Copies of this chain bind each other. A is one copy, B any other.
Amino acid sequence: MYELLKGLTVVEAAAFIAGPTCGLYLGQFGAEVIRIDQIGGGPDFRRWPLAPSGDSLYWEGLNKAKKSVVIDLARPEGRELAQRLATAPGDSRGLFVTNFPVDGFLSYERLKALRDDVICVRVMGWADGRPALDYTINAAVGVPWMTGFADDPRPVNHAFPAWDFITGAYAALSLVSAERARRLGAGGCEVRVPLSDIAATALANFGLLAEVLVGGADRPRQGNDVFGAFGRDFVIKGGERVMVVAITPRQWRAILRTLDLEAAVAGLEAELGVSFAGHEAVRYQHRERLYPLFEAAFAGRTSDELAPAIEAEGVCWSTYRTLGEAAKDARLFAGNPVFGHADQPSGLDYPVPGPAATLIGPKRGAPAPAPRLGAHTDEVLADLLGLSSGEIGRLHDAGLVAGAVK
């Protein structure tokens, strides 16, 4: 937990990954993030995977570093409370993150009527308001047909919801940027961040759209071969598989040296009349001739033989391993200062991540846990809306809000 955003108060009404990661990142950078959920939890509250207690490991991962308010959002008075929280007065407030529909009770129009300079960041599926998920957007933009092996007739989705995570980070950037503009006099705005546009712009941003329009051909499926460079997976002695990529001339010389391939590759260069020493694309163009040399070299060496040389030389590589195996890697998880322990709702003790960024200077602080559902209802109603205990009590009596379930 860092304090870069200390002083900001963000209200979040969003389920699943994109909206909640936005709030998570802001909270881990020190903003006060107040999450609104339906009493009993929203559609993501019991999402798998679950702890033995039935608590969702998914939910408590995504909603760390936040406060929790629960409201009956099915009733008009409950919806009005949510609107009022989103538009609470004060320079540091009126900052709202949501994935609720553009036209519903949390529309920008309705919020702006309550607070003219409200900032609303709205994550969406399709830009036109139609629903979508990471996995359907992924199919729509063509990525499953460029993923995996050419000999498999089936398209391959991401198992990891990349579009959700990019959207969440981009939404957080949008909120902090809009808040800066507001503080400098620009007024508020709604910022819409649709998964569909995140995906479309991402593919265009590194040249894939232009490539297919200009060249007329889709990027082929080529297993784990890196496009345009020398990199792919190789099986080493013992059967383990490694991913190896040599991008720069220095890395290329290093991998040839490590594998004793300098002579063989020089012979190939002479035969083909090319030099592989310079631009990576030349190695890519002739990879079908290079791969057999590398396959044989890797197949004759174990991980222990390869690792020291490869790592010393700055070549990018990794063994393929499962997450279970990776979990034992101190550099990634258990011994990584980014991870710590926190009192999570599930009661389980496992390494919990703080922010992915590491600041040089400020102290990191322990990772903040997820809240118990409803733990902050009363505190937030008093703090943001100035409600008295009596008023808050009447909301509880009416079943419009609830506290933590004991």
Structural contact, B136 and A316, CB atoms closer than 8 A: yes
Extra 6 A-B pairs, beta carbons < 8 Å, given A144-B243, A204-B353: A4-B174, A25-B170, A142-B322, A171-B357, A200-B356, A209-B333
A214 to chain B: closest CB distance in Å?
6
Closest B-chain residue to A58, C-beta based?
B207
A367 to chain B: closest CB distance in Å?
10
Contacts A139-B243, A156-B147, A173-B25 given: A228-B49 contact, CB under 8 Å?
yes
- B residues near A322, Cβ cutoff 8 Å: 142, 145-146, 212, 218
- B residues near A227, Cβ cutoff 8 Å: 48, 159
A69 CB-CB contact with B under 8 Å = no
A225-245 CB contact bits vs B (8 Å, 1 = yes)? 011110101000000011111
Cross-interface CB contact of A156 among B148, B201, B317, cutoff 8 Å: B148
A382 CB-CB contact with B under 8 Å = no
Cross-interface CB contact of A318 among B60, B137, B214, cutoff 8 Å: B137
Structural contact, A219 and B323, CB atoms closer than 8 A: yes
**Which of A78-86, A179-187, A297-305, A386-394 touches B?**
A179-187
**Which of A259-267, A268-276, A324-332 touches B?**
A324-332
Structural contact, B5 and A140, CB atoms closer than 8 A: no
List which A278-320 residues lie within 8 A (CB) of chain B.
279-281, 284, 311, 314-320
- B residues near A149, Cβ cutoff 8 Å: 152, 154, 156
- B residues near A317, Cβ cutoff 8 Å: 136
- B residues near A204, Cβ cutoff 8 Å: 61, 333, 339, 351-353
Chain B CB count within 10 A is highest, among A48, A201, A321, for A201
A135 CB-CB contact with B under 8 Å = yes
> Number of copies of this chain in the oligomer?
2
A190 to B357, CA, bound (A): 10
Contacts A4-B181, A333-B209 given: A214-B141 contact, CB under 8 Å?
no
A113-148 CB contact bits vs B (8 Å, 1 = yes)? 000000000000111101111011111111111111
Structural contact, A133 and B231, CB atoms closer than 8 A: yes
- B residues near A64, Cβ cutoff 8 Å: 205
Chain B CB count within 10 A is highest, among A136, A137, A143, A311, for A136
| Residues of A in contact, count (CB < 8 Å) | 165
Contacts A156-B147, A350-B214 given: A338-B21 contact, CB under 8 Å?
no
Closest B-chain residue to A170, C-beta based?
B169
Structural contact, A197 and B142, CB atoms closer than 8 A: no
A195 to chain B: closest CB distance in Å?
9
A3 to B189, CA, bound (A): 12
Structural contact, B172 and A127, CB atoms closer than 8 A: no
A331-354 CB contact bits vs B (8 Å, 1 = yes)? 111001011000000101011111
A365 to chain B: closest CB distance in Å?
14
Contacts A205-B62, A243-B135 given: A48-B140 contact, CB under 8 Å?
no
A369 to chain B: closest CB distance in Å?
12
Structural contact, B210 and A61, CB atoms closer than 8 A: yes
A144 to B198, CA, bound (A): 23
Contacts A322-B145, A324-B218, A356-B201 given: A61-B206 contact, CB under 8 Å?
yes
A362 CB-CB contact with B under 8 Å = yes
Closest B-chain residue to A43, C-beta based?
B248
A52 CB-CB contact with B under 8 Å = yes
